[in-house]
Chain A
């Protein structure tokens, strides 16, 4: 019984982290129609910046905030300098559709390699800001700690805040209009370039939050070739696809669903099946329900 409950807790917590990454991917997708593989690199860089702030200010929370600000800045720079130029150069070429995606893969490699050069390969670590020791109920230790509670709350909070931004503000309106068709939005008077950069900035902040919260909840170790960040990207991407790539709520549900499935496979079957399960789930969703679990079944260009 406790094993079952703990599996659910593990699933929800890891799912919440995937959700944060998925939210970042969905934001960039929604505002610029790019699947941003560099998101993992941007998150890693932001987390390193967060680590530096922890060393300086000895406050995880301040560092988390500053890392998110840095993540937003990185996102804005990547879009306004790199992606904008790229879009201008390949706007009508034969590779116009794939160039931005390949470019983000290149950027991912570039960020990781540069970070490796800058900090070397020695691991540093981020200690949990609140206890990561599980709550106990009548002698049983649960796989749910104050830190995990923070993580889950952060994912839910970001989802709600961003959903309100998208559906209730004129910025959200501009974001949705630009995502559907930059040309038409521009004709209608929307400052499309600014709006897209804003989408990247918010995604950068969400990715930074994912990186900062993930690191202490795992081993705490942080390194430029961190496997954790690769997994974060892969699982975040799968979560976003399960959620339909369009929807913030879908991203969170997709993350939690993925987390739960993987936790159950890990507990009741075998650790070696976790990866296979994740990819099988991705392929099944793509084949059976490509619009995602809550996606709307409709072409994007009417």
Chain B
């Protein structure tokens, strides 16, 4: 019996911002169909880790393995084709597009026709994208929002739509940046349920402050502090790790 290889593995990742060590020797593995949380105090480097994986900041050092094969750090534009999708902390919907159009933007990797035929065809591509987008909205229970302009959505609904926009590209790895941030209890409940469902279709890597969410959805955790991984393992182990409690979680969780 062989152990299955990680679909994503990061080793010795270091990122410097002008002499400041934002990340140092960070490691992380993500297996298929699991939810992994990256937690840590503000400024610990969680977002930098996400940004390095998304080609937004350039690592100084480190290696990346995707499905067991070594891979250069991806450029942002390659993510969709690599099966990686990400939501943003600030949600980042396009305000003057409808919800459906917002989700369709996430599916453009499925359009293979050239500019000319797409411009004059109006074509199968268009309705194809529309169908995919509706399916993605269905998965976040958001079909009733389809024709509303994004800038008139309620905040919890923007979170739903952002996840649909990430899901529509059919990622193998879904990166969620504070999915529960700013949500009330009822919506957090709903978000927990959604993330647990997502696990059936893809692996989820999430950054989250909300410990209730982390503990109820994450299989494993990595704890960052001052740019280094200070603990990792199954969620229940990590929450009892003295180093973690000292650095981050305080006395009582």
Contact = CB atoms under 8 A, between A and B. Distances in A.
Question: What class of interface size applies to chain B in its complex with A?
Answer: 20 to 34
Contacts, number: 82
Given A169-B126, A189-B169, A177 B94 contact: yes
Interface residues of A, number: 27
B230 interface: no
Nearest to B113: A170
B58 to A, nearest CB: 13
A265 interface: no
Interface of A, helix, strand, loop or mixed by DSSP: helix
A171 B219 CA distance: 40
A192 interface: yes
B94 A198 contact: no
A302 B152 CA distance: 11
B77 A192 contact: yes
A165 B119 contact: yes
A180 B169 CA distance: 20
B126 A170 contact: yes
Contacts of B93: 302
A173 B97 contact: yes
A168 interface: yes
A168 to B, nearest CB: 6
Interface in B201-227: none
A170 B104 contact: yes
A186 interface: yes
The 8 closest A-B pairs by CB, nearest first: A189-B80, A184-B92, A302-B95, A177-B105, A186-B76, A188-B106, A189-B109, A180-B94
Interface of B: 54, 56, 76-77, 79-80, 85-86, 88, 92-97, 101, 104-109, 111, 115, 118-119, 122, 125-126, 129, 151, 165-166, 169
